[in-house]
Amino acid sequence: MPADLIHLVRHGEVHNPGGVLYGRIPGYHLSELGHRMADAAAASLVGHPITALYASPLQRAQESAQPWSERFGLPIVTEDAIIEPHNWFEGKIMKQAIRNPASWPHLRNPLKPSWGEPFRDVERRMLAAVLNAWNGAPGGEVVMVSHQMPIVMVARSVKGMRLPHDPRKRRCTLSSITTLRREGELFVEVAYAEPAAALLEHAADFGAV
């Protein structure tokens, strides 16, 4: 039988002393605070019937999935379709990069966006992964550990909102949980929680793309 709920969980804070936009660059792991955030997210759903656990292949997502694996006794299934979007600015410090004329062609169309994977493509792959996880679950609830922009694309899509948006105003904090339920042929958002809210004021890296 399909899942009752799908929980889209953002990873915790990343150790990023250089302040770069890391995107899909390997080697970016959680900070000590990020591990605490990830554990807070998992602890918030103790008692729920979590039956499956998926995570993006990136290290920060895999590490954020570990507390869920330990608390619920589940293997982490790596799901490539919920990875961070590719981005031309990877490895750069955004405040510096946007002042460089060489960057300007990549900023010409924020509605697509021109600097990376199109919003529509991210929406399609995320919704397909969510549907596959929903169909493949033995009932209960599914956790999928992903990244800010992919989760925001799902949330905006299921609400019928335009996909283009201001990245500075995204509602998807570190280790937040966006919960979906299937109603008929559609997914709907039924909850949004920030179990690591008390830790956010101490965060140095927010990882927005």
Q: Are 144 and 161 in contact (CB under 8 A)?
A: no
Pick the CATH number of 5-200 from 3.40.50.1240, 1.20.58.2240, 3.90.320.10, 3.90.1530.10: 3.40.50.1240
Average pLDDT of the residues in 179-205: 94
The per-residue pLDDT for 138 is: 92
Residues 6+ apart with CB under 8 A from 88: 103, 106, 115, 116
% of the chain with per-residue pLDDT over 90: 77
**For the chain, domain boundaries:** 5-200
The per-residue pLDDT for 208 is: 56
- Global pTM reads 0.94
Q: Does residue 132 surpass a pLDDT of 60?
A: yes
* 89: confidence class by pLDDT, cuts 50, 70, 90: confident
User: To the nearest whole number, what is the mean pLDDT of the chain?
Assistant: 93
The per-residue pLDDT for 207 is: 65
Q: Does residue 209 surpass a pLDDT of 70?
A: no
* pLDDT tens-digit readout, 28-52: 999 999 999 999 999 999 999 999 9
**What is the identity of the amino acid at 10?**
R
Give the range among 17-26, 33-42, 76-85, 143-152 with minimum mean pLDDT.
17-26
Q: Provide the 8-state DSSP code for 89.
A: T
* 93: confidence class by pLDDT, cuts 50, 70, 90: confident
Cα 143 off chain centre by: 11
Taking alpha carbons only, the member of 11, 8, 142 closest to residue 67 is 11
72-to-44, 45, 53, 117, 154 alpha-carbon distances in Å = 12, 10, 9, 34, 25
* pLDDT tens-digit readout, 53-62: 999 999 999 9
